[in-house]
Chains A and B, each alone.
Chain A
Amino acid sequence: MELIQQLVNGISLGSIYALIALGYTMVYGIVRLINFAHGDVFMIGSFVGFYAVTMLHVGFVPALLLAMASCAVLGMIIERIAYKPLRNAARIAVLITAIGVSLLIEYVTIYLRGAQPEAYPSTLLPDRNLELFGVVISSQSLFILGTSLVLMVLLQFIVHRTKIGKAMRAVSHDAEAARLMGINVDNTISATFAIGSALAGAAGVIFGIYYTKIEPLMGILPGLKAFVAAVLGGIGIIPGAMVGGLLLGVIESLVSGLGYSLWRDGVAFVILILILIFRPAGLFGKNVREKV
C-alpha cells in the first residue's frame, strides 16, 4: 500500500516536472540554448497568476490565461533583448547571458516585492481527496497529470504537424537556409520562446495551486529538475520530456520513501549523469553518429 501511495506521490510530483520540462525541451530543441531563465519565467507566471487572483479577483481560467500571456510576452522580450544579439556568438556566451537574465529576473522581483513567500488561495480549484484502498489521490494531481498530457499532445502537434512547427525545426537545423525558404527566422524564434514561456507560465500557476507557496527563487530548483527530466527523455523530444518528468518524480518519491530524502536531489543528478553516459541522447533520442 505504501509503495502504491509512493507511486501516486511520484506521479503527481513528476507531472509538475513534466509541465516545466515541456517548454524547456521545446526551446532547447529549436534554439539549442539552455535557457536558465526558464525557471524564472515559471516563477513570474506563478506570481502573475497570484496577483490576478488576489488583486483582480478573477477565477482560475482567466488567471491561467493571463499568466500564460504575460510569460509569452516576457519570453519574447528576453529573447529579443538578451539572446538575439548573440545568435552568432559562442554557445557559452549565450549561456552566461542566460544566467545573467535568470539572476536579473529573480532579483528584480525581490527588489520590487521582497523575498517573502506568498500563499496561493486554496479556493481556486476544488481539491478533493479520493481514497482508494487506503491510497490517497488528490483531485488536483489528477488535474495536473491531465493538463501535462494535453499540453504534450498539443505541443507535439504544433511542432510536427503545423507550418510554424516545420519552420521551427528548419530554423533549428540551419537558420540561414531557412531564410532562403522564405521563413522569417526572427518571428519563428520569437514564437518558440512565446510558446515555451507560456507553458512555463501555465506551470507556474498550476504549481502555485498545488503547492500553495510561491517565492522569487522558486524557479531555480524546479527549473534544474525539469532540465534533468528533459535530458532524461531526450532533449528536444516532447514526449521524452513528459516521460522523463514522470520518471524523475517517481524515482525521487521512492528514494524519499525509503528514508533517503536528503539524497533525493543527489539521486536525480546521479541518474542524469548515468543517462548521459550510457544513453546520451536520452531514453527517447536516437544516437546519431557524427558524419565525418
Chain B
Amino acid sequence: GCGGNQQSGSSSGGNGGGGGGDVIKIGANLELSGGVASYGQSIAEGVELAFEEINKEGINGKKLELVKVDNKSEAAEATNGAIKLISQDKVAAIIGSATSTNTLAQVQIANDNKVPIITPSGTSETVTVKDGKVNEFVFRTCFIDPFQGTVAAKFALNDLKVKKAAVLIDSASDYSKGLAASFKETFTAGGGQIVAEEAYVAKDTDFRATLTSIKSANPEFLFLPGYYEEVGLIVKQARELGLNVPIMGGDGWDSPKLIELAGKDALNNTYITNHYSSGDPDPKIQEFVKAFQAKYNKAPDAFNALGYDTAYFLADAIKRAGSADPVKIKDALAQTKDLQLVTGTFTVDQNHNPVKSAIILEYKDGQQQFKTKVNP
C-alpha cells in the first residue's frame, strides 16, 4: 500500500532508532511458540547470554536492551512483530526470525523502514537476494544452503567413495530442500547416482515406512539434511530396519539431543557438515560452551550458538558505526570483515552472506570427531 510507504519514510527519518539515553533497543522477532518454538527459544537463549556479556562493558557507553516478540511460527505474525518493533519500540535492528520464511515476511518492511534484520538461521538464498538484487537491510549469521550440500556431495564421492545415494528431505524446510538440491547437483555431476528420493514433514515421528522403501532401493549412502529432532529418530529407525549405510547431514544435526535420540550405536558411520564443533578445543568456543552451561545448565546447540553469534555480529557493527542509527548499523554490518565468532570467522560478502569455513565431523560412539575443514 502506498499509504504505508509514505508513512514509513517519515518514521525512519524522524527518529534515530534504538531509543535515546543509555540504551540501544534491539528487537528479536522469534518463534517463541508454535511449530518451531524450539528454534526461536534456542536463539533467544543465545542472544540473551551474549547481551549479558556485552552489557558488562557496554557499547560506546550504552547498553543493549532486547525487545522480544513472539511470531508464533507464523509468517503473518512475523510481519506484525516486525511492524511493532519498528514503529512502536523503535528498535535499531531486529534479530530474527529463525526460519527463512518468517524472515522473508519481514524483508519488505525492513527495506521500507530502513531497519536492518539479521536472521541467525534462515539459510535460504532468497532471504538476502531476490531476483538477483540484494536486500539492502537483510543479513544472516549462517552460511547458505548450497555451500553445505556441495561440501557433503564432494565428501561422499571422494572420501566415502560411494556412487549410489538416497536422499531424504524435510519437505517443510527450505533449508533441507536447499541442501538436498545442491547435494544432488554436485553428486550427479561427479558421477554419482540418486537411487531414491523421499520426503517427510517436520514433527513426524514414524519414518519406518519411508525408510523401508529407501532400503529396498539399495543405496550405498543416505543424505539426510534435516534437523536433529527428526534426524535422531530417522537414524535410529534406519538402523533398526537394517539400513546400515553411511548417513550424512548438515548443521541441523548438531545438538547433544541427537545423540540421546538416535543412540550412540546407531550414530556410528554418520557425518555432518557444521559451523563449529562444541568439542572443538578452540578457546573461543570452549569459553562459550562454559558460559552457556553456567547460565542454562545444558550444552549449547547450533541455534544457541548462532543466536549468540548474531548478537556479537550486531554489537560489533554498532561499535564500528559509533551510533544507534539503523542505516549506519546496516552499513557497518555490510562491512564486517574477519570477525572471530563461535561459528567461524566472519566476512560479509556482497550478497550479505557470511563467508565462513565449514568443517566435517564424524560421530564415533556418541562423540563428534573432527574429519576435515573445507574452505569456501
Contacts and interface: CB of A to CB of B under 8 A. Distances in A.
**Do A and B come into direct contact in the complex, CB within 8 Å?**
yes
Interface of A: 2, 5-6, 9-10, 12-13, 107, 110, 114-119, 122, 129, 131, 136, 138, 211-213, 215, 217-218, 221, 252-259, 261-262, 265
Contact of A256 (B38, B41, B210): B210
B209 interface: yes
Given A119-B260, A119-B261, 12 more contacts: A6-B209, A6-B213, A118-B257, A221-B203, A252-B206, A254-B209, A256-B210, A258-B213, A259-B213, A261-B198, A262-B171, A262-B201
Nearest to A117: B229
B41 A257 contact: no
A252 B38 contact: no
B212 A119 contact: no
A122 B232 CA distance: 13
B35 to A, nearest CB: 8
B76 to A, nearest CB: 19
Given A119-B257, A213-B261, A217-B37, A261 B205 contact: no
B242 interface: yes
A136 B215 CA distance: 12
B240 interface: yes
Interface residues of B, number: 32
A5 B212 contact: yes
A258 B236 CA distance: 22
B210 A261 contact: yes
Contacts of A221: 203
Given A213-B233, A259-B213, A117 B261 contact: yes
Nearest to B233: A213
B33 A107 contact: yes
B208 interface: yes
Interface in B215-234: 216, 229, 232-233
Interface string B16-49: 0000000000000000010101100110000000
Nearest to A253: B209
B257 A256 contact: no
A275 B143 CA distance: 48
B67 interface: no
Contacts of B261: 117, 119, 212-213
Nearest to A2: B216
A290 to B, nearest CB: 40
Given A115-B37, A115-B41, A211-B233, A256 B209 contact: yes
10 contacts: A2-B213, A6-B212, A13-B209, A117-B229, A117-B257, A118-B257, A213-B233, A257-B209, A259-B198, A265-B201
3 smallest A-B Cβ distances: which pairs? A119-B260, A256-B209, A115-B37
Contact of A212 (B38, B199, B209, B233): B233
Contacts of A118: 257, 260
A203 to B, nearest CB: 13
B263 interface: yes
A252 B199 contact: no
B241 interface: yes
B209 A119 contact: no
Contact of A122 (B38, B199, B200, B263): B263
